[in-house]
Amino acid sequence: MSLAALPVTGLARLGRAVIAALAELGRVTIFAASIVSHILRPPFYLRELLQQLLSIGWLSLPVVGMTALFTGGALALQIYSGGARFQAEFAVPSIVAIGMVRELGPVLGGLMVAARVASSIAAELGTMKVTEQIDALVTLSTNPLKYLAVPRVVAATLAVPALVGIGDVIGIMGGWLVGVNRLDFNSGTYLHNTWQYLETSDVVSGLFKGAAFGFIVALMGCYYGMTSGRGAQGVGRATKGAVVAASVLILAANYVLTEVFFSA
């Protein structure tokens, strides 16, 4: 290959990568639109929905709660240490509450759910595809998208905001525990400042982010699981791809939603 051909080859590879990325984005968009179009159309598999609510919501609560507790405590220590440079230690309660409710609660909760749920969904559906259980559903006149994907997406969209709300409370409690027992704050004053500076829009924005993140997590798990390759390697790649894609999309969506809610 001549030196003159190297730039052309590099551009060709870049072009192929861009086209492949856009094609993948198109497939994900079509998949998401198909799921949304089936949500309000019968039949409705309520038993599957309730089972997924239990699996995604209740069983994810311990990891989300522990993450929020330690995050709230660490945030209180960091804000107190930084605020001491400007004699602003009094701001610890309000900043912990706002930081947890607006950003850390939804984002860390979403990432923890992505690590647990997206991988689980992708592995489960990928294994079903490898063992031809999805094909068996088709032979039984059951729409696999309706039976497998829709309950998981709806359950995650409903469960993750609840997890975020509980995580917010636990995170604020973690900051309160550190503030009162480690930083010598008065308990009543700490709680008063938390309540005084926290606004309804802060809570609503965090819960809305949780719903969006839940949709993303389940969508990526279902997409990669139902499009996984054959064999154990295909299921492994699908699981890894679901977690990575869900995590990156959560961070990107968080920026977009923050712009929407707080750009003013």
pLDDT digits (tens, 9 = 90+) for 203-257: 999 999 999 999 999 999 999 999 888 878 889 899 999 999 999 999 999 999 9
Task: Quickly tell me which residue has 């094909």 as its tokens.
Answer: 135
pLDDT at 82: 82
* Predicted TM-score (pTM) of this structure: 0.91
Residue 220 lies in a domain: yes
Instruction: Look up the domain containing 100 and give its range.
Output: 45-262
How many domains, in total, are found in the chain? 1
Burial class (CB in 10 A: 0-12, 13-18, 19+), 171: buried
State the alpha helices, DSSP H only, in 182-264.
Answer: 187-197, 200-226, 231-262
Name the token pair of 185: 């704050």
Q: What is the pLDDT of residues 149-175, one digit of tens each?
A: 999 999 999 999 999 999 999 999 999
**Could you give the percent of the chain with pLDDT greater than 70?**
96
Residue 226 lies in a domain: yes
Q: What is the pLDDT of residues 10-55, one digit of tens each?
A: 777 888 888 888 888 899 999 999 999 989 888 889 999 999 999 9
pLDDT at 21: 85
pLDDT at 193: 86
Residue 26 lies in a domain: no
Residue 197 lies in a domain: yes
Residue 37 lies in a domain: no
Residue 134 lies in a domain: yes
Residue 100 lies in a domain: yes
pLDDT at 5: 57
Name the token pair of 92: 């610890």
pLDDT at 56: 93
Residue of 143, 156, 144 lying closest to 219 (CA atoms): 156
Whether 118 has a pLDDT exceeding 90, the answer reads yes
Residue 8 lies in a domain: no
Q: Torsion angle, CA of 14/19/20/21, rounded to 10 degrees?
A: 90
C-alpha 113/C-alpha 56 separation (Å) is: 8
pLDDT at 121: 94
Mean pLDDT of the chain: 89
